[in-house]
Amino acid sequence: MATGFIKTPSPFHFIQRTSYTHLGAPITVSIAGSSKAKKTHLQLRVSMGLIEPDGGRLVELLVEEPLRGLKKKEALSLPAIQLTSIDIQWVHVLSEGWASPLTGFMRESEFLQTLHFNSLRLPDGSVANMSVPIVLAIDDAQKHRIGDSTSVALIDAKNNNPIAILKDIEIYKHPKEERISRTWGTTAPGLPYVDRAITNVGNWLIGGDLEVIEPIKYHDGLDRFRQSPAELREEFTRRNADAVFAFQLRNPVHNGHALLMTDTRRRLLDMGYKNPILLLHPLGGYTKADDVPLSWRMKQHEKVLEDGILDPETTVVSIFPSPMHYAGPTEVQWHAKARINAGANFYIVGRDPAGMGHPTEKRDLYDAEHGKKVLSMAPGLERLNILPFRVAAYDKTQGKMAFFDPSRAQDFLFISGTKMRGLAKNKESPPEGFMCPGGWKVLVEYYESLVPASSNGRLPEPEPVLA
Amino acid sequence: MATGFIKTPSPFHFIQRTSYTHLGAPITVSIAGSSKAKKTHLQLRVSMGLIEPDGGRLVELLVEEPLRGLKKKEALSLPAIQLTSIDIQWVHVLSEGWASPLTGFMRESEFLQTLHFNSLRLPDGSVANMSVPIVLAIDDAQKHRIGDSTSVALIDAKNNNPIAILKDIEIYKHPKEERISRTWGTTAPGLPYVDRAITNVGNWLIGGDLEVIEPIKYHDGLDRFRQSPAELREEFTRRNADAVFAFQLRNPVHNGHALLMTDTRRRLLDMGYKNPILLLHPLGGYTKADDVPLSWRMKQHEKVLEDGILDPETTVVSIFPSPMHYAGPTEVQWHAKARINAGANFYIVGRDPAGMGHPTEKRDLYDAEHGKKVLSMAPGLERLNILPFRVAAYDKTQGKMAFFDPSRAQDFLFISGTKMRGLAKNKESPPEGFMCPGGWKVLVEYYESLVPASSNGRLPEPEPVLA
């Protein structure tokens, strides 16, 4: 979301689809299926009752505990690829099945389908959505070192620990310009993810099947919030959820967000669902320098629940481990698709999802309405219910956030993300009722904590480390 | 095809698909269905026995003869949009159903699906391929003139003749940078179609349903070759075709092409087809300055048939009215999809289809193998059999074009398009057996005809005109 105000479903409507949806058909919840292992190292779990993962099963790529020692030893015998922190975030994403049915970093056929079709055709002829390339770049020297080996070890560059093995590898050209053009719809310099993770990496991509040796942990005090799709599915089942509505965010939660989420739950109840559960799902991977870092956002989100703005009984707060692309209509599909794999069958989408300002022109990079339009038509997302929402703003007559009423526009105050950050930086208070006081205090503390001498005014982001 | 040498199916293989194909299952030919009209102005024809058009029916948008006077009068009462020659080529394409099931210039939902998914979801939930935007740009002044009108007249800018009516219009923003990035995978300056038809056109797009008042004619002596998909379907049915294999080209035909096409027919016969027909289908719309113009290519193709290099009994030479994008893997899908609508169920694809050199870097714009890979995985093309082919080259030991044999590479001579053009320009002869003498003579005459004073060394291209 580009701004601090939000959009609300008023009237609450679903984007029309040509294919079937789950509209008005509450899902029966039954007991979660037991874990099954297809191979010793590949866990496949399906929670009964929740929406099915893409491809019919959640593809987890973690090596079973008893085999980890062996695999680590095997890894040490293989050609080694050094991973950056963003690479490791993608290993995390893949290892837990957020990108099901992917079984590892993309091979060329998956990469090309992602770039051209935002979707993958599966062996049974069905289609899964896949809009952002999940790829691993290597340079000429690394390619040379791999030689004829069919497997490589993926190594944490910070401490030389082997993280995973990539098997049945395929090495192919990394067409950077084409990848950037087709993913972002621009090649303008200054795209944060491109600058950080594409421009200076190698000219080859390496795909294959992943075997992840140990769960990825960050040891930043937040790992308990990093629930995997399987764990979230268990949680939703434990709570007897008959609908799960996901809210992706990378900003502090204000009372407009809360109004929207509370209202969404009420309307799902009106539709006949007995126990809709909110997945409040902040993105935890790479974000750009002027976003509020994850640790502060999580403190803020905790306050929002403590202050009773959201009901902990019907809300699950968890961290989505993906890095951020800021690729607008292309990326919002990834954000939605990954939440299907975590059990969400409703997805809330606002204005300009995953958008940002154009890096070189004075305008937003994407049309603010394209994200929800593209999402509503995306191949492989037909079974997800898209919940678009309209504007909420600060209603001066009520002294609280409310759905914007154009017939009395003069009563409303729009508080943009930029304005919100400006107020917090200057230790000023927003209008009462904009955000719960505890949450606002966290924001003010964050800006106080910034070292003025820092080049970008931001603390280093948490990085994944192995225990 | 970027070069003059060609690729041949040796061994003849089909790209594997996850969905069904027509492999080894010759199609029963029965009598062509009679023309049916759903509405007075909308002709729908289906030829029995041939592959079905996309969406199940060929959408022709030509107003029935008795209504043309009325429609012309109606058009004169509507706000007018001036069309360029490329716009008129697209009206031609749409009017005959090459882009079925499109019913006119794209509205925003079709435009976005094309950019992001290279395909359209149809009302019945099925998917049709659509990879290049077929859109009409207007500027602020034109938008202002349209005002609240729900229909506009499309006018030939050269002579002010009304060509068509666009109904139930939708006007939306023309995101040029995003359109270019997602279609070409680059925004480098110098893309021919972009320079000609995007950069300097308006910042709005107008979509709607087309009613084309009269068939588009060019009066260049070649209109008899401009058969519509319905006419081609009738021709294939008349010839009792049980397989139709299409060959898209925008270059002169040499004996390597001929070898490939003859060999393809032989192999289709081996597979059990009784009467495979070749659709030799030169592109007739806009091409870049250094391509050989259509009129000369058609003369050359006629000589190739006269000289017996291709068998007229089993070959249909016709003109494909589309303009050329030079958008490689994106555009080859359009080239293939349009031929389905004309009745082709086999499509021959070579190295770097619809490719060109990168406009600003010393390399080809696209990976030479991406075109056939993308085509083989493209949504909505599952029922088309893709025939990839490997290299043919001049075999010095035989004095003719032959399939390249890497075990005796030294025996082969590769004659690129650049080399071929250089020889023809200098009135030199290629090695005997490279091209039939009559065809070569046409090429030499073409280069002789070029006015040296001309800025780009090329005659003006034929433009569509109304009678």
Distances (CA, A) of A451 to A159, A297, A447, A448, A459: 27, 18, 9, 8, 8
* Residue of A18, A116, A130, A382 to mutate, testing the B interface (most B Cβ within 10 Å of its Cβ): A116
Domain map (residue ranges) of chain B: 65-212, 223-450
Q: What is the DSSP string of A215-268?
A: --B--SS-GGG---HHHHHHHHHHTT-SEEEEEEESS---HHHHHHHHHHHHHH
The ipTM assigned to this model is 0.88
Q: List C-alpha distances in Å: B365 to A107, B288, B317, B354, B355.
A: 21, 15, 30, 10, 7
The CATH number of the structural domain formed by A65-212 is: 3.10.400.10
Compute the distance between CA of residue B347 and CA of residue B350 in angstroms, rounded to an integer.
Answer: 10
Tell me: the pLDDT tens digits for A86-144?
Answer: 999 999 999 999 999 999 999 999 999 999 999 999 999 999 999 999 999 999 999 99
Per-residue pLDDT of chain B (467 residues; tens, 9 = 90+): 333 333 333 333 333 333 322 333 332 222 223 333 333 333 333 334 899 999 999 999 999 999 999 999 999 999 999 999 999 999 999 999 999 999 999 999 999 999 999 999 999 999 999 999 999 999 999 999 999 999 999 999 999 999 999 999 999 999 999 999 999 999 999 999 999 999 999 999 999 999 999 999 999 999 999 999 999 999 999 999 999 999 999 999 999 889 989 999 999 999 999 999 999 999 999 999 989 999 999 999 999 999 988 999 999 999 999 999 999 999 999 999 999 999 999 999 988 999 999 999 999 999 999 999 999 999 999 999 999 887 789 999 999 999 999 999 999 998 877 788 889 988 999 999 999 999 999 999 999 998 664 445 454 455 554 43
Instruction: Show which residues on chain A lie within 8 Å of chain B, measured between beta carbons.
Output: 18-19, 108-109, 112-113, 115-119, 121-125, 127, 131, 173, 175, 177-178, 181-182, 184-188, 329-330, 366-367, 370, 373-374, 377-379, 382
CA distance B296 to chain A (A): 34
Task: Please say whether the beta carbons of B30 and B53 come within 8 A.
Answer: no
Answer yes or no: CATH 3.40.50.620 is held by domain B223-450.
yes
Cα–Cα distance measured from residue A466 to residue A313, given in angstroms and rounded to the nearest whole number = 33
* Closest by CA position to B101, among listed B332, B321, B337, B325: B337
Put simply, the answer to whether B329 touches A112 (Cβ < 8 Å) is yes
Express each pLDDT in A302-311 by its tens digit: 999 999 889 9
Half-sphere exposure of A404 (CA within 13 A, CB side): 17
- Residue B331: per-residue pLDDT: 98
Q: Taking CB atoms and an 8 Å cutoff, what residues of chain A touch B122?
A: 18
- B187 vs A181: CB contact, 8 Å cut-off? yes
